[in-house]
């Protein structure tokens, strides 16, 4: 700042030398020689007007007016009679005066980034599993930048594929969805382009992708499901009921047969006496309160009669995969107890129709209203008859039987009384008293075949 003041002072001296008589020639005045005393120069501040500061920024330089003729200061009101000194344009040495090092440098404005645009991406896609899905779009500007295909997984966006675009201004973006898309009924995808030195970043709206089953039965037959669950497992126990909950009650009272558990009049009497002893309402019917008083868990009250085998197929499973899932689950029960009216886990046991239901559940098939829950109730011991009567299954000739078909047997009156799963090579897997076994399709115990039903068509 001091350098600027000195520069201004020199400039004022030059101006005064040109405008004050005798100053250029060293003539004496009342104040001394014609030379200007720098101490008498008032450089006004543009903000305060105080002496000793620069007024260059405001373009004003105030110098005490001097009467050129009298060599005396002008009195008030006389200033207008004397022409003001006009500062000439700086040239020569003055033009080369040093520049204040503190002065701000003016930089050119940054170049504006190009706006990235992407056109042609879909909002929704619905497709059959196991089919390749490609996304195609036009990107501007391209210039060799990268683009990412992302899938939403576990609460975050995961990059599945990265491609480099062509070096043209606009380029076609081509992406292939990874096989993750068909493992879920629905999934979310998007395209993202990071920013470059010349272009903005870009994130597309979410693309909703829905997968349909690769294999599905024709519409007139039972439809394969993505998930199966049963409700109503919290049923009360009455005379005539069977299955795993009845087995637990009979075992508590040490009555009945473990392979043929039935809620009989004897069971009812035992329950009624127990309820009186525990100060419960004596109905002879096992409800949840009675069940808990017997020491059984609340969870078992709901689950024992409503078990569903875990699904072993997905959206991409083929017809063959469904058949093998069914048979593999049946093999899990090999050696398990035969329990009439039951359709439980392998360790709990199942009867013939209970085994078939669990095998079908694992393959994505439910024949409701035929279910593990209903099977335990009075009148539904022979669910094999209802499976045979179901129009959701295709009837095929015995000679055309294939692996995975259901073989039905009948009594002498032609009434269905048993069902087994055909394995091929004239073998079946079945729950036959008193356990689950693999046997020839015909043997000395049951050879009267009613017919064949096909689940997967």
Cα separation, 198 vs 213, in Å, equals 45
Per the prediction, the chain carries an average pLDDT of: 84
pLDDT at site 445 = 86
Mean pLDDT for 223-231 is 94
Position 57 pLDDT exceeds 60: no
Position 360 pLDDT exceeds 50: yes
Token pair listed for 426: 């004239």
Mean pLDDT for 244-257 is 96
Q: pLDDT tier at 102 (50, 70, 90 boundaries)? A: low
Measured between its terminal Cα atoms, the distance across the chain in Å is: 96
Strands 124-128 and 207-212, sheet pairing = parallel
CA distances from 306 to 151, 155, 337, 352, 372 (A): 36, 33, 18, 17, 6
pLDDT at site 61 = 40
Give the number of other CB atoms < 10 A from CB of residue 403: 15
Mean pLDDT for 154-162 is 96
Cα separation, 431 vs 408, in Å, equals 13
Domains and CATH numbers, the chain: 2-95 (no CATH), 117-212 (2.60.40.10), 244-303 (no CATH), 319-454 (3.90.1720.10)
**Percent of the chain residues topping a pLDDT of 90:** 73
Cis bond before residue 369 (omega within 30° of 0): yes
Question: What are the start-end ranges of the E strands in 370-434?
Answer: 394-396, 406-410, 416-424, 427-432
Position 72 pLDDT exceeds 50: no
Cα 122 to its chain centre, rounded Å, is: 18
Position 147 pLDDT exceeds 60: yes
Cα separation, 193 vs 163, in Å, equals 10
Q: Are 19 and 68 in contact (CB under 8 A)?
A: yes
Q: Are 420 and 429 in contact (CB under 8 A)?
A: yes
Residue 212 phi/psi, 5-degree rounding, is -105, 160
Position 351 pLDDT exceeds 50: yes
Nearest to 356 by CA among 409, 408, 421: 421
In a 13 Å sphere around the CA of 23, the CA atoms on its Cβ side amount to 19
Residues 6+ apart with CB under 8 A from 63: 12, 15, 16, 41, 42, 85
pTM value > 0.75: no
DSSP string, 303-318: HTT---PPP---TT--
Q: Are 159 and 148 in contact (CB under 8 A)?
A: yes
3-state secondary structure of 242: strand
Mean pLDDT for 404-409 is 98
CA distances from 41 to 8, 100, 242, 412, 457 (A): 10, 22, 120, 137, 111
pLDDT at site 290 = 98
């Amino acid at each position: 700042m001091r350098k600027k003041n000195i520069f201004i002072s020199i400039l004022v001296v030059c101006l005064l030398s040109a405008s004050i008589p005798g100053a250029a020639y060293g003539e004496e005045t009342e104040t001394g020689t014609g030379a200007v005393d720098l101490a008498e120069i008032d450089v006004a501040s543009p903000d305060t007007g105080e002496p000793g500061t620069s007024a260059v920024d405001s373009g004003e330089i105030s110098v005490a007016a001097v009467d050129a003729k009298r060599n005396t200061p002008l009195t008030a009101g006389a200033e207008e009679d004397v022409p003001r000194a006009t500062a000439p344009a700086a040239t020569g040495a003055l033009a080369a005066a040093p520049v204040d090092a503190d002065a701000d440098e003016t930089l050119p404005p940054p170049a504006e980034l190009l706006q990235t645009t992407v056109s042609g991406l879909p909002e929704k896609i619905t497709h059959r599993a196991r089919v390749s899905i490609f996304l195609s779009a036009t990107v501007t500007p391209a210039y060799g930048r990268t683009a990412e295909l992302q899938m939403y997984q576990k609460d975050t966006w995961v990059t599945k594929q990265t491609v480099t675009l062509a070096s043209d201004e606009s380029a076609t973006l081509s992406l292939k969805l990874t096989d993750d898309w068909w493992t879920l009924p629905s999934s979310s995808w998007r395209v993202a382009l990071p920013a470059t030195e010349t272009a903005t970043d870009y994130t597309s709206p979410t693309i909703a992708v829905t997968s349909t089953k690769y294999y599905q039965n024709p519409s007139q037959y039972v439809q394969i499901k993505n998930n199966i669950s049963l409700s109503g497992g919290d049923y009360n126990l009455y005379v005539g009921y069977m299955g795993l909950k009845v087995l637990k009650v009979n075992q508590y009272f040490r009555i009945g047969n473990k392979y043929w558990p039935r809620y009989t009049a004897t069971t009812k009497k035992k329950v009624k006496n127990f309820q009186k002893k525990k100060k419960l309402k004596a109905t002879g019917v096992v409800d949840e309160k009675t069940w808990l008083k017997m020491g059984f868990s609340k969870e078992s009250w709901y689950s024992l009669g409503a078990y569903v085998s875990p699904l072993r197929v997905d959206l991409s499973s083929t017809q063959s995969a469904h058949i093998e899932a069914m048979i593999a689950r049946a093999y899990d029960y090999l050696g398990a107890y035969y329990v009439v009216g039951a359709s439980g886990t392998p360790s709990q046991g199942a009867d013939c129709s209970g085994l078939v239901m669990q095998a079908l559940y694992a393959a994505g098939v439910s024949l409701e209203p035929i279910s593990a829950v209903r099977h335990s109730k009075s009148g539904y011991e022979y669910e094999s008859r209802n499976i045979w009567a179901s129009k959701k299954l295709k009837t095929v000739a015995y000679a055309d039987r294939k692996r995975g078909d259901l073989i039905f047997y009948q009594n002498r009156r032609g009434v269905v009384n048993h069902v087994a799963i055909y394995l091929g090579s004239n073998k079946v897997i079945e729950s036959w008293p008193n356990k689950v076994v693999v046997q020839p399709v015909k043997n000395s115990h049951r050879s009267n075949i009613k017919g064949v039903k096909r689940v997967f068509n």
